[in-house]
Amino acid sequence: MPNHLPHSLRSDARDNRERILDAARTLFAEEGVHVPMREIARRAGVGPATLYRRFPTKTILAAEAFAEQTHECHAIVDECLAEPDPWRGFCLMLEKTFELHASCRGFTEAFMSAFPDALDFAAERQYALQAVAELSCRAKRSGDLRPDFVLDDLFLVLMAHRGIAAAPMPARIAASRRFARLAIQAFRASPAHSPLPPVPRLTPDMTNIL
């Protein structure tokens, strides 16, 4: 019996760790990074002491919970930089970044520094900003991106995009895609006015206004 005890404890510890991370990802996505640690413990089905033993601070917990999104963000940047068509690369960056942020409200807050102590996003933000600067320069040289575009415009639309987090997840993704297309058309030097994606039903009580 004692021979099996260490393995059992390790297994329980791994299970607790995964339950905590799953709960944190869900709550961060639904409510943002300011959700209390006690609520994460409750959702995970563990006591606060267990939570703090595995993750002493929300900084550490958020870093682990957002590891996948951080990796995906880096992959998006690399893919867009590798796109030979400058305008296509710029558009892909907007579309995929918006979709990533729509899927996780907490990641958006952390990336936008609303929760600066959550994890060290400085290096990732710097890498992303340098990539956007390069993509925008290429798109301007090709004549597709409006010449007065500045990096602050990207943060402006990301800040506006955060409002989509109030919608249920299916509508949030659909709204994000439409918002991305609207932003792309606004940033284009000579808007082609291509068809927009379907609009999600966000305000059922306003269907007769337009």
Helix axes 67-82, 86-103, angle to 10 degrees: 170
One domain, residues 24 and 74: no
Residue 42's CB is within 10 A of a number of other CB atoms, namely 15
Residue 209 within any structural domain of the chain: no
Dump pLDDT digits (tens) for 114-158: 444 444 566 777 788 888 899 999 999 999 999 999 888 888 888
Residue 10's CB is within 10 A of a number of other CB atoms, namely 10
pLDDT of 110 reads 65
Give me the phi and psi of 188, to 5 degrees please: -75, 140
**Is the Cβ–Cβ distance between 101 and 50 less than 8 Å?**
no
pLDDT of 124 reads 72
CATH number (domain holding residue 9): 1.10.357.10
Q: Kindly give, in sequence order, each residue whose CB lies less than 8 Å from that of residue 65, ignoring residues fewer than 6 positions away.
A: 21, 24, 25, 28, 106
Q: Kindly give, in sequence order, each residue whose CB lies less than 8 Å from that of residue 98, ignoring residues fewer than 6 positions away.
A: 161, 176, 177, 179, 180, 183
Distances (CA, A) of 166 to 32, 39, 146: 11, 20, 31
Instruction: Reduce the DSSP state of residue 195 to 3 states and report it.
Output: coil
Q: Which of these three, 65, 90, 110, is where a domain ends?
A: 65
Number of domains in the chain: 2
The pair of structure tokens assigned to 118 is 């959550």
One domain, residues 86 and 175: yes
Residue 1: DSSP 8-state: -
pLDDT of 132 reads 87
Amino acid of residue 34:
H
Residue 208 within any structural domain of the chain: no
All residue ranges of the chain with pLDDT < 70 are 1-9, 105-106, 108-122, 191-197, 199-210
One domain, residues 79 and 57: no
Residue 205 within any structural domain of the chain: no
One domain, residues 110 and 16: no
Tokens 């509508």 — which residue? 171
Enclosing domain of residue 75: 67-199
One domain, residues 99 and 140: yes
Burial class for 106, CB neighbours closer than 10 Å (0-12, 13-18, 19+): buried
